[in-house]
Structure 1
Amino acid sequence: MVLIAAALAAAYVGGLFFAAFWILAGVAVGVEWAWLVAGDPPSRRWTARVVAATLGVAGAALSLSIYLYVAPVTAAFVLLAGAVVAAFLARPAYFAAVAIPYGAAVFVGAMLLRRDPHDGLLAILWLFAVVWSTDIAAFFAGRAFGGPKLAPLLSPNKTWSGAIGGATAAVAAGVAVAAGGGAARLWPIVVVALVTSAASQFGDLFESGVKRAYGAKDSSKLIPGHGGLMDRLDGFLFAATVAAAIGVARGGLDAAGEGLLRW
């Protein structure tokens, strides 16, 4: 509940406060990934430092591109260079370099949607509604109906009934938020919400598979009783990436929110 309140407050304020909020979250997720995947303690520490610095600089470049003459592509070059350095430091655990695109996915999609001056706030609220509805409904539907497992090798507790329940709730929430925001055509929102919900659930399974591969129950102990931020944002970062990709493809970098919701 604390994280939800903070996310909503940051979304409402917008601007550099919103950017800083999600950049810090992305840094934390990237560091957790590096710490989980890298091998011995020295390489783990150095890789985590490079990951944190890279994500911080790239996030700052992306956020300042709204106010200064800084091309958003600058952030992409920073991320690429940081990933190369992280892979070198973590060798032979080269998979640690994925910490950088994985952490960047936490803030890039959210920032691209929120920068839309007209529909940025609505797009972020829509994204929250879809992801949170997916998580909550999947949990309760899975508990209530049980049934065949969704991906037992990755996450033994998730069921098909939970996945269907989560997707159904996400579509309902997405349509409700879009309609409340004045979206005229709602049937495309059904499809977009369904795709975004599927991305969120895939992200959850992906992170579960990574933790299982490295013998970890939680990504960290940052949040008492809940693990790390990677555990809380695993679905969000995939959903935000998909939603932003749709928005940018239709509306461009400065109207991604409109591209996502106005059909």
Structure 2
Amino acid sequence: MSRELQLRIVSAIVMIAVVLAATWFGGLAFKILAAGIGLLIYYEWSTITRLAENSIRANAFGWFSMALISLNMLFGRAELTVPLFAGLVVTAAIPAVLRRVNWWQPGGLFYAGLSAISLSAIRGEDSLGFIAMLFVFIVVWSTDILAYFVGRAIGGPKLAPKISPGKTWSGAIGGTVAGVIGGLLIAMAHFQDVGLWVAIVAFALSVASQIGDLFESFIKRRFGVKDSSRLIPGHGGVMDRVDGLVFACFAAFFLAIGSSAGGVGTVVSMGAFLFGL
């Protein structure tokens, strides 16, 4: 076994242990994890897109905004999360509308901030949130793993050759089927009555996770980088590891808000939405 492979395996074990432990404990532990992921994503995004070189003020505002979002997540009020996030993103977008900065700056704030917020919202504060987070993990991991193996075994037409030449339609379909099955198994392990709704949500999250993977590939290809960073030994950067996960969380977050008459209040009841409770 090569040293590089050993490093990848050890890093993967450590990452999985940290993520699952934080998910199990929930509360402040998971909020710290979610905020940390958001901050690291913004760091990698700003580095890849060279935000500091284009506008020091805009980049400083981005870091200030991420700090506010993180502090509100950790110590603030849940009902303020969405209004605060929306206000900061709109403020960051004004200079882009006026063409004083490019759209990568507000885009980075939106991507990184929503990554942290949606992760935290899905986990929530109760045991149902724990199951919901496991549901998302299993859907995304099943999709990613089976898409790789099915794509290699069957091959066929490319999914998006200009963005990610290695991905195929067979892999995408195989990954989606695996994601739906994985999601259903997790749901059936915890609930007696699992309806079509759970399969529909799993399907949507699986597709979203693959779009997230393609989106990150597009960003890296656009700026000519191989990895988002070298923060994780043997694995590249945080964005490289959570690209599909955060898009799946985005999908769950927006579906929950869009389907609830309570609006932003759904950020504290994501598990109930995912399982139709």
Distance 1:149 1:186, change over 3 A: same
Residue 61 (1) aligns with residue 61 (2): no
Q: Secondary structure of 1:157's match? A: strand
Which residue in the other structure is 2:5 paired with? none
CA RMSD of aligned residues (A): 2.5
Correspondence 1:89-168 to 2 at 5 A = 91-168=100-177
Give TM-score scaled by structure 1 length.
0.88
Give the number of equivalent residue pairs.
Answer: 259
**1:192 corresponds to 2:201:** yes
Which residue pairs with 1:254 in the alignment?
268
- Structure 2: give runs of 5+ residues left out of the alignment: 1-12, 261-265
Q: Which consecutive residues of structure 1, in runs of 5 or more, have no partner in the other structure?
A: none
Instruction: Name 1:230's counterpart in structure 2.
Output: 239
Question: What SS does structure 2 have at the residue aligned with 1:222?
Answer: coil
1:236 and 1:44, CA in 2 relative to 1: closer, same or farther beyond 3 A? farther
CA contact (8 A) 2:69 2:81 kept: no
**Match of residue 12, structure 1, among 17, 21, 24:** 24
1:183 deviation in Å? 5.3
The 5 A counterparts of 1:52-91 are 52-66=63-77, 71-77=80-86, 79-80=88-89, 83-84=92-93, 91=100
Distance 1:7 1:79, change over 3 A: farther
> TM-score by structure 2 length?
0.84
- Equivalent of 1:174, from 163, 183, 205? 183
Q: Secondary structure at the match of 2:267?
A: coil
Runs of 4 or more, structure 1, over 6 Å off, are: none
The structural deviation recorded for 1:254 is 2.6
Native 8 Å contact 2:39 2:112 kept in 1: yes
1:48-98 alpha-carbon deviations (Å, 9 max, x no partner)? 54433311211221343458xx6234432553266348859x954432321
Q: Tell me the residue number matched to 1:3.
A: 15
Deviations 1:13-60 (A, max 9, x none): 111111111111111111211111126x64476655443331121122
**In 2, Cα distance between equivalents of 1:59 and 1:176:** 33
> How far apart are residue 149 of structure 1 and its match?
0.6
Distance of 1:48 and 1:144 partners within structure 2: 44
SS of the residue aligned with 1:72? helix
